[in-house]
Amino acid sequence: MTVKLYDLCGKNDIRFSPFCWRIRMALLHKGIMFETVPVRFTEKHKLEFSGQYLMPVIDSDGTVVSDSWAIAEYLDDTFEPPTLFPTGREQARAQQKWLNTLHPLIAKSIIMDIHNVLSVEDQTYFRAKREAMFGVRLEEVQAGRETTREQFRIGIEPLRKQIANQPFASGNAPAYMDYIVFSALKWASQVSDFQMLAENDPVALWFDRVATELGVN
């Protein structure tokens, strides 16, 4: 059986959604065969079958699941080990809640970079939606991003503590706790050359370990 993953994409097939990356990593972790269906911001009609318009969405042999957390639980409950939650689901939930507080800092640091990897039609959509959200032009949101990045580097300290005495947040092997944070950083690196982490930051080294472990470029 092959799972279909409906995945947000930009021009030149750039895949950048942090929530879709969580599920891509989960599928790789579980060794599940999957194919991706690219969906642009202005193609959300492709998701009508799911009853909502947010990604990720999976179709697993007719079972349709949306929302990254719900999908991760479904994959773990339905498919063979290894588990995505070796330290328990509550701990992974807490990791997700913490990471979500850092998402705005990443978004503000790369918002124009995201805009620039979109098709012209999607750029218009994205600008209108995000400027309504922030209340200012995208260029103003990203202005001073060096300061925003410093706030992020301070905020990522809990992960540094998690990996101080072990290679991954989940222990000796990566799992969903790792993928939650990895995917946020992958979001940035897919669209931007702006480095969210210092080169010698333990989190940067951890990011490379996770990517290597799952064979992700």
What are the pLDDT digits (tens) for 40-94? 999 999 999 999 999 999 999 999 999 999 999 999 999 999 999 999 999 999 9
Exposure string for 19-34, b = 16+ CB within 10 A, e = fewer? bbbbbbbbbebbebeb
CATH fold for the domain made of 3-84 = Glutaredoxin (3.40.30)
Q: What is the percent of the chain with per-residue pLDDT over 70, rounded to a whole number? A: 100
pLDDT at 1: 76
Q: How confident is the model at residue 155 (pLDDT cuts 50, 70, 90)?
A: very high
Q: What is the percent of the chain with per-residue pLDDT over 90, rounded to a whole number? A: 99
Give the mean pLDDT of 176-190: 98
In terms of Cβ atoms closer than 10 Å to its own Cβ (0-12, 13-18, 19+), residue 139 is exposed
Q: Is the pLDDT of residue 7 over 90?
A: yes
What are the pLDDT digits (tens) for 105-148? 999 999 999 999 999 999 999 999 999 999 999 999 999 999 99
The CATH number given to 90-214 is 1.20.1050.10
**Measured between alpha carbons, how far is 176 from 99 in angstroms, rounded to an integer?**
12
Query: Domain boundaries in the chain?
Result: 3-84, 90-214
In terms of Cβ atoms closer than 10 Å to its own Cβ (0-12, 13-18, 19+), residue 48 is exposed
Q: Write down the mean pLDDT value for the chain.
A: 97
Q: Is the pLDDT of residue 27 over 90?
A: yes
Look up the pTM and report it. 0.97
| Contact of 79 with 71, CB cutoff 8 Å | no
